[in-house]
Chain A
Amino acid sequence: MELITILSTIILIATISTFILSIGAYILYKVRSRREQRQILSPVVNTQAELVTVKEADEWEELRRKSGRPSLSRVQGEGVLNEREKPEPKPVIKVEKVKTEKSMSPRFVKYNPQEIENAVGELKWK
C-alpha cells in the first residue's frame, strides 16, 4: 500500500511538472516565433523562375516547332493543365528561357495562376 502511495506521488509530481513544462514551452515558443516573424519581414525580391533540364531529342524539337508548342514532351501535360485551370482563370506564365545542356529550348509554359497571386513577386519561367 505504501508503494502505491509513493508511486502515486511520483506520478502526480511528474504529471503536474509536465503540465507546467508544456504550457511554459508553448508560451516560450509563441514568444520566440513572434520575435522570428518580426526579423523575417524583409523587402520582397522580384525573382523569376527557371527550369533547368537536359535536352531530350532533336525530333521533339522539330515537332515542337511544327506544333508551335514549347516541347512535345509537355503537350499532354499542358492539356491536362488547361483543363484543370478552367475553374480558376489565370494568366499564362511566359517561358523566357530554359537552360539545357546542349542548347536553349523552352519546355514549360504554364503555371497555376492562384499560386502566382499568392507567391512573393512575379513568377515567370525563364
Chain B
Amino acid sequence: MLNLNYSNYEIIIVNDGSTDDTKAIAESMVGYHKGTVSQIKISLINKVNGGKSTALNAGIKYSDAEFVLCMDGDSQLSPDSLRFAVRHFKDAKIGAVAGNVKVVNRKKLLTDLQALEYIEGLNMARSAQSYLRAVNIIPGPIGLFRKKAIVDAGYYSRDTFAEDADLTLKILAADWNIYYEPRAISFTEAPSKLQQLLKQRYRWTRGIIQSIRKHKKLLINPTISFRNTAILWSMFYEALIWPTMNIAAHLFFIIAALFFGFSSLIIFWWIGLAILDFISALYCIITEKEESRLLPYTIVYRMFFILVIDICKAMSTIEEFLGIRMTWGKLERTGV
C-alpha cells in the first residue's frame, strides 16, 4: 500500500476482532511512513468482530476523505491502481470505480482455472457493463468510491452475504454511475482447494440472490430505472438462469448418450463450447496482457470447471429459497 504512485492518501487498517497477531502487527505500523511520493499516515481501528460490512463502515466513517478505496486483507494493489482509478471522478456522476481483480496464487490447476475465470468471465463482463456506466458488482478486493455515493447508498449493509453486490446496487439505485478501470489492478488470493472454492461460491451465490431479492422492486419495475432493471436482470440471468441451463444441457447430452444412443452429440457440444471459450480467452489474454499458458485451460474450463461451479450455484440457490441458515465461514489463506 505504501508503494502506490499517488501523493495524497492515508491508510486505515480495520482489525475486525482478529484472533491471530494481526492487532500487534497492525499497531506496529501505525504512524507516518515513507511512501513512493509522500509521507503516508497509517491508522488502525481495532474493533470487536462484527463482519466485513461493519469493518468497512468503521473505516469509511473514520475517513474524512472525499474518496475511499475499499479492499480486502488478502489483496494487494498494483502501484498505479489508485492513480488510474481516481481520475474517473472528474465526471461528477461517477460514484464508484470498480477495479480489475487478478489471481495471485497461480500455478495450480484450480487457481489457474480461477485466474482464467476472472479474466474471461468477470472482467470482460465488467468492461461491457462499464460502457453503460453500470457495473453490477464492485469487487471486494478493489473498489474506489466517492464517499458521498456511499453515504447516499446507506453504507455497507449486514443483511446480505454479498455486501459488495448490495452496495453496488444501492449506489446504482441512488442514480450514481459506476465505471470499470482495468488498469486499477488488485491481486487477490484465490481458494486453492475445492472445498474452499465451494465455500466462497456458496456465499457469493446466496449473497447475490439476497441482493437481487432486496432490490426486486427495480427488477420488476423498469419505469424506476430501465438501466438498473437491465442490470438486475443480467445478474438474475447469471445467478439463476444460466447455471440451470448449463446443468440441464449437460444432463440432456448425458441422457441422450446413455439412453438414446446419441453419444456423439456430447463431443460436438464440448467442441463448440471449447472453441467459443478459446476465442474469448484469447481476446481477453491479449487485451489484458495476461499469461498465454492459461489458454489450454479453455479445454476443461466450460465443460468441467464451470459445471462444478454451476452445480454449487444451483444447490446454493435451492438452499437460499428454502431459507436454510448460513454463516460467513472462514476461508483459509496461505498468505502468498
Contact = CB atoms under 8 A, between A and B. Distances in A.
Nearest to B153: A84
B172 to A, nearest CB: 18
Contacts of B64: 73-74, 76-77
B46 A12 contact: no
Interface residues of B, number: 55
B61 A26 contact: no
Contacts of A80: 147-148, 151
B38 to A, nearest CB: 15
Contact of B50 (A32, A50, A84, A119): A119
Contacts of A23: 311, 315
Given A8-B266, A25-B198, A50 B154 contact: no
B279 interface: no
B322 to A, nearest CB: 13
The interface residues of chain A, by DSSP majority, are classed as helix
B31 A25 contact: no
Given A25-B195, A52-B46, A33 B329 contact: yes
Interface residues on A, range: 35 or more
Contacts of B284: none
A57 interface: no
A63 interface: no
Given A4-B267, A49-B48, A111-B61, A12 B254 contact: yes
A40 to B, nearest CB: 8
B90 to A, nearest CB: 22
B237 interface: no
Given A32-B195, A77-B61, A101-B31, A11 B254 contact: no
Nearest to B307: A18
Contacts of B26: 52
A15 B198 contact: no
B195 A29 contact: yes
A120 B50 contact: yes
